[in-house]
Copies of this chain bind each other. A is one copy, B any other.
Amino acid sequence: MTPMAPPVRRQRPAVMADVAKLAGVSVPTVSRVLNGSAVVRPDKRDRVLDAIAELNFRPSATARALSLRQTRNIALLAGNTSHYGYAETIRGVEEAARAAGYTVSITVAETTDDAEVDRAIDLVLGQTAAGIVLLKFDPAGVALRERIPADVPLVVAGGAPGSDAPQAVLDEYSAAVELIEHLLSLGHRTVHHVRIPPSRDEDGRTTGWRRALADAGAPVPPLWDADWSAATGRTIGRALAEDHEVTAVFAGNDEIAMGVVRGLTDAGRRVPEDVSVVGFDDHPLAELWSPSLTTVAQDFAALGRRAFGLLLALLSDEDVPAFSADRPLLVLRDSTAPPPPTAPESH
């Protein structure tokens, strides 16, 4: 009744012993030609290569790892994988890893919930990773950091400087200062800040904002807290629109900035004529937004590459710089302008 099924017998993959047998040599010899760890006579070498091709042999990475006690796979721990900065950093890590012959295993902990953080850590430690790159961009990242045992090779990407592991960062503090100084120099009396979820107490963006304001003798208005979605930015933008003393807003990232712009315009305020808005990151859409967004360009992919580089150095027992910082770049566009002439000079 049923049509004759083709013989689907999935055969056992060839192992080194099969190759050795077919080539008429010993197993270690096969290993030697594979790794070039010793000189093998050309004729044997060729026979081995032929056998490998014929049997379609692929060495077992697991067995190799067990014997060598190290893998070419690193773990990437993060609070998220798809938001702009995260995704770009991951891209950079993967790029650098691939170039070095490593794969990267990703596992995330979405919240700071103990159970979830522990589970992520267990997953990672239960795997065969040579080391860990931790994205410390958010509270989850901080929580993860605390749970990583001291004896695991670790590199931290992002976050406040001063971890006990080698760390690659972006100098968000200085970038934020530049941004605020730009706004102040335009004539704004102060700048309101819509903050991204803070790592601990404050991230570099917020600290830079506060500091630049204080140094200029400008008032430091209360913070607004956003999550990572642009939608909350919009809600906050609408609220900000109520207060006509608000003439400049610094959003924690470009997506929030876009939301804020949208909220402001929803409520009838013009950007930048009535209020200036700046973002952070230089998201690909920041330039296309109307008005195009003044922001700070952060090279997350490069951050990822640097982080992997640190880990590689750590793994090869090289001298590892404890710190690798990169300076974001101010990008002036159309969302900032002097405050409207009618704006109150003071209360």
Select the stretch in A39-47, A60-68, A174-182, A238-246 that faces chain B.
Answer: A60-68
Interface residues of A in 47-67 (CB under 8 A from B): 56, 58-63, 65-66
Quick check: is A101 within 8 A (CB to CB) of the other chain?
A: yes
**Across the interface, which residues of B come within 8 angstroms of A59, CB to CB?**
126
Quick check: is A234 within 8 A (CB to CB) of the other chain?
A: yes
The one of B65, B127, B265, B288 in contact with A262, judged by C-beta atoms closer than 8 angstroms, is B288
| Contact status B127-A61, CB under 8 Å | yes
| Contact status A58-B126, CB under 8 Å | yes
Interface residues of A in 156-214 (CB under 8 A from B): none
Select the stretch in A87-95, A308-316, A331-339 that faces chain B.
Answer: A87-95
**Across the interface, which residues of B come within 8 angstroms of A90, CB to CB?**
81-82, 106
User: A307 to nearest B CB, angstroms?
Assistant: 15
The one of B82, B255, B258 in contact with A88, judged by C-beta atoms closer than 8 angstroms, is B82
Q: How many copies does the complex hold?
A: 2
Quick check: is A151 within 8 A (CB to CB) of the other chain?
A: yes
Select the stretch in A117-125, A133-141, A218-226, A318-326 that faces chain B.
Answer: A117-125
Contact code string A28-42 (vs B, CB < 8 Å = 1, else 0)? 000000000000000
Decide: A127 near B103, CB < 8 A? Known: A81-B90, A262-B290: yes
Quick check: is A105 within 8 A (CB to CB) of the other chain?
A: yes
| Contact status A66-B62, CB under 8 Å | yes
| Contact status B104-A108, CB under 8 Å | no
The one of B66, B230, B265 in contact with A285, judged by C-beta atoms closer than 8 angstroms, is B230
Quick check: is A10 within 8 A (CB to CB) of the other chain?
A: yes
| Contact status A87-B98, CB under 8 Å | no
Instruction: Classify chain A's interface size.
Output: 35 or more
Chain A interface (Cβ < 8 Å from any Cβ of B): 10, 13, 56, 58-63, 65-66, 71-73, 75, 81-82, 84, 87-88, 90-91, 94-95, 98, 101, 103-108, 119-120, 123-128, 149, 151, 229-231, 234, 255, 258-259, 262, 265, 284-285, 287-288, 290
19 example contacts (A-B, Cβ-Cβ < 8 A) are as follows A61-B126, A65-B128, A71-B128, A72-B126, A73-B105, A81-B91, A82-B91, A87-B87, A90-B106, A94-B108, A95-B108, A103-B106, A103-B107, A103-B124, A103-B127, A104-B106, A128-B128, A255-B284, A290-B290
New contact pairs (20) apart from A60-B66, A103-B106, CB-CB < 8 Å: A10-B151, A58-B125, A62-B65, A62-B71, A72-B126, A73-B105, A81-B87, A81-B91, A94-B107, A103-B124, A229-B284, A230-B284, A230-B288, A231-B288, A255-B284, A255-B285, A258-B285, A258-B288, A259-B288, A290-B290
